[in-house]
Chain A
Amino acid sequence: MVPQPIASQTTTTRSLISVIGASSVGTLIEWYDFYIFGSLASVLASKFFPEANPTAAFLSTLATFAAGFVVRPFGALFFGRLGDMIGRKYTFMVTLLLMGGATFAIGLVPGYATIGFLAPVLVLLLRLLQGLALGGEYGGAATYVAEHAPAHQRGYWTSWIQTTATAGLFVSLLVIMGTRLALTKEAFDDWGWRVPFWASVMMVAVSYLIRRNMSESPLFAKAKAEGKTATNPLKESFGNRYNVKFVLLALFGATMGQGVIFYTGQFYALSFIEKIGHVDKMQTDGLMTIALLMGTPFFVFFGWLSDKIGRKGIMMTGMLLAVLAYRPIYQRMYEAMSLQNRTEQPDKTTRKNTQTPDPVIGGATVQTQTVQRTYTDGTMATEVTTTKQLADATQGELGPPVTTVKETITLNSSDRWTLIWLVFAQVLLVTMVYGPIAAFLVELFPTRIRYTSMSLPYHIGNGVFGGLMPAVATYLATNANNANATAKQAGLAAPYAAPYLEGLWYPIAVAAVCFVIGLLYINGNDKRGS
Chain B
Amino acid sequence: MNALKKYLGIAWLALAALVGYFGIMDFGLPKLGTGKTDDLVFGIIILFILMPIIVGGLVTFGWFALQGDYDE
Query: Are A and B part of the same complex?
Result: yes
Please list the residues of chain A having a beta carbon within 8 angstroms of any beta carbon in chain B.
1, 56, 59-60, 63, 66-67, 70, 241, 244-245, 248-249, 251-252, 460, 464, 468, 471, 475, 513, 517, 520-521, 523
Known A70-B45, A248-B61, A464-B49; contact A63-B38, beta-carbon cutoff 8 A: yes
Docked-complex contact A513 and B15, CB < 8 angstroms: yes
CB A457 to nearest CB in B, in angstroms, measures 9
Closest B residue to A471 using CB positions? B42
Please list the residues of chain B having a beta carbon within 8 angstroms of any beta carbon in chain A.
1, 4-5, 8, 12, 15, 36-38, 41-42, 45, 49-50, 53, 57-58, 60-61, 64-65, 69-72
Known A241-B69, A460-B53; contact A63-B61, beta-carbon cutoff 8 A: no
Residues of chain A within 8 A of B1, CB atoms compared = 520
CA gap between A523 and B12 in the complex, in Å: 19
Residues of chain B within 8 A of A66, CB atoms compared = 45
Give 18 new A-B contacts, CB below 8 A, not counting A67-B45, A468-B45, A475-B42.
A1-B70, A56-B36, A63-B41, A63-B42, A67-B41, A70-B45, A244-B64, A245-B70, A248-B57, A248-B60, A252-B57, A252-B58, A464-B49, A464-B50, A464-B53, A468-B50, A471-B42, A517-B61
Residues of chain B within 8 A of A70, CB atoms compared = 45, 49
Closest A residue to B4 using CB positions? A520
CB A260 to nearest CB in B, in angstroms, measures 13
CB B3 to nearest CB in A, in angstroms, measures 12
Residues of chain A within 8 A of B15, CB atoms compared = 513
Residues of chain B within 8 A of A468, CB atoms compared = 45, 50
Docked-complex contact A60 and B41, CB < 8 angstroms: yes
CA gap between A63 and B49 in the complex, in Å: 13
CA gap between A464 and B5 in the complex, in Å: 26
CA gap between A252 and B42 in the complex, in Å: 23
Q: Which of A63, A245, A252 contacts B45 (CB 8 A)?
A: A63
Q: Which of B5, B12, B38, B41 has the most CB of A within 10 A?
A: B38
Docked-complex contact B65 and A521, CB < 8 angstroms: yes
CB A103 to nearest CB in B, in angstroms, measures 22
CB A74 to nearest CB in B, in angstroms, measures 11
CA gap between A475 and B38 in the complex, in Å: 11
CA gap between A84 and B69 in the complex, in Å: 26
CB A517 to nearest CB in B, in angstroms, measures 8
Known A59-B38, A460-B53; contact A248-B64, beta-carbon cutoff 8 A: yes
Docked-complex contact B45 and A60, CB < 8 angstroms: no
Residues of chain A within 8 A of B70, CB atoms compared = 1, 245, 249, 521
Q: Which of B42, B53, B60, B72 contacts A1 (CB 8 A)?
A: B72
CB B63 to nearest CB in A, in angstroms, measures 10
Q: Which of B37, B49, B50, B61 contacts A252 (CB 8 A)?
A: B61
CA gap between A517 and B42 in the complex, in Å: 28
Listed by A's residue number, 29 A-B pairs whose Cβ atoms lie within 8 Å are A56-B38, A59-B42, A60-B37, A60-B41, A63-B41, A63-B45, A67-B41, A67-B45, A70-B49, A241-B64, A244-B60, A245-B64, A245-B69, A248-B61, A249-B61, A249-B70, A251-B57, A252-B57, A252-B61, A460-B53, A464-B50, A468-B50, A471-B42, A475-B42, A517-B12, A517-B61, A520-B1, A520-B4, A521-B65
CB A246 to nearest CB in B, in angstroms, measures 10
Q: Which of B1, B5, B8, B57 has the most CB of A within 10 A?
A: B57
CA gap between A292 and B42 in the complex, in Å: 30
Residues of chain A within 8 A of B8, CB atoms compared = 520
Q: Which of B42, B50, B60 has the most CB of A within 10 A?
A: B42
Closest A residue to B58 using CB positions? A252
CA gap between A63 and B53 in the complex, in Å: 18
Residues of chain A within 8 A of B49, CB atoms compared = 70, 464
CA gap between A336 and B70 in the complex, in Å: 46
CA gap between A145 and B43 in the complex, in Å: 39
CB A54 to nearest CB in B, in angstroms, measures 12
CA gap between A500 and B8 in the complex, in Å: 34
Residues of chain A within 8 A of B58, CB atoms compared = 252
Docked-complex contact B45 and A1, CB < 8 angstroms: no
Residues of chain A within 8 A of B37, CB atoms compared = 60
CA gap between A520 and B62 in the complex, in Å: 13
Residues of chain B within 8 A of A523, CB atoms compared = 72
CA gap between A460 and B53 in the complex, in Å: 8
